[in-house]
Amino acid sequence: MKNNLIVVLAGLARLTVAAGVTGSATGFASGVTGGGDATPVYPTTTDELVSYLGDDEARVIIIEGTFDFTGSEGTATGSACAPWGTAAACQLAINQDDWCTNYEPDAPTTTVTYDVAGVLGITVGSNKSLVGTGGATIKGKGIRMVGVTNVIIQNVAFTEINPKYVWGGDAITLDGTDMIWIDHVTTSEIGRQHIVLGTEASGSVTISNCFFDGASTYSATCDGYHYWGMYFTGANDLITFTNNYIYHFSGRSPKVGGTGNTLLHAVNNYWYDYSSTGHAFEIGSTASVVVEGSVFQNVPIEVDTESGMFNGQMFSVPSTGYASECAESLGRDCEVNIFGSSGTLSYTTTNFLTNFAGKNVAAAAAAASTMETTIPANAGNVL
């Protein structure tokens, strides 16, 4: 009897965890509730998943296994170009909106067939929690949050979105959103961006515990390192980026600003294993970035400074003497970053730190080499 009771209680405990979100958002999206305590739904087909994500109901959507969208919308054949060469490991660019014609007029042209489902992500409405369990994976299509608020995406992998083709699709798109939490997500083998915040303002975004896997069969650098990582260029984006593992990229991870006043707080992340000519950050004009408490290992170029690429504002806590610069606006000291077989970050602009005042600011642990183990072990859809 007693044993039975224990079995029943253990079952309930597991259910409780599986039925909802684990933990809560830190940083700018603190307080996000997603689908709240709506009765969970358990889609088993891609159609059901699309329907639950896109409808007008507050929903807790629990998924398990692989939802494979490959082929679900057929294929398309169209013109493309090869701006980076025609070697087998090179990405090709679909001539979307005449991109090849306008930007790469001298590149060799070709014809390609790609999967239509990958091009545009699944529409996600407001007040949704999408929670994966047991390694849940969405294959061949990303998600798209446009003009919505209060969404949690947790413990899901996105993979194989036309990886050979630039403009073949993004994994996660935010545009004109507020209160979005992306947590414990894995992205790999993506055509374009792993995550993109585009042109309208995305206020209060927290991206945490994610594994951005840039190891790719095809890349714009033709070397297995994906170039298109995180693209944070909306107007007035407010992004907390914490405890993420950013692996094996050759550029734009992230690209920040250029068009909007993005404020990026990057804290306790692990950047690892970049190509020898690749870079992590691109910092455009109007971008404001704090990088602290993070580990850079085998990242030769932290920020692209070539040809005027750096023209925003960054505070990177170059030494402990700078830590107290954060106290007034972030409510605590900042933490220095550490580097192994990498370049350095030495940016000391602090006038923009006042933009943190009154906001939910993520905590920072001291950067430590142990993070090279602890962050990858915890990142991605491993809950």
- Binding positions for ligand NAG, rule: CB under 6 A: 56, 58, 126-127, 150
Count of helix runs (H) and strand runs (E) in the chain: 6, 28
DSSP one-letter string for 43-54:
--SHHHHHHHHH
When the beta carbons of 124 and 371 are compared against ligand NAG, the nearer one is 124
Give the residue with the Cβ less far from ligand NAG, 128 or 255. 128
The Cα 351–Cα 314 span in angstroms is 10
- Nearer Cβ to ligand NAG, position 178 or 335? 178
**Listing from the earlier edge strand, what are the strands of the sheet with 75-81?**
109-115, 75-81, 92-94, 165-166
How far apart are CB 149 and ligand NAG at their closest, in Å?
A: 7
Q: Which residues does 60 contact at the CB level (< 8 Å), separation at least 6?
A: 19, 20, 21, 34, 35, 36, 37, 38, 39, 40, 41, 129, 131
Which residue is nearest to ligand NAG, using beta carbons?
Answer: 126
Specify burial of residue 324 (Cβ count, 10 A radius: 0-12, 13-18, 19+).
Answer: exposed
Nearer to ligand NAG (CB atom), residue 36 or residue 224: 36
C-alpha span between 65 and 45 (Å, rounded): 10
Active site residue 14: no
The minimum distance between CB 56 and ligand NAG, in angstroms, equals 6
Count of residues for the chain?
Answer: 383
**How do strand 263-267 and strand 203-208 relate by DSSP bridges?**
unpaired
Rounded least distance, CB 57 to ligand NAG, Å = 8
Smallest gap from Cβ 203 to ligand NAG, in A, equals 15
**Active-site residues: which are they?**
252
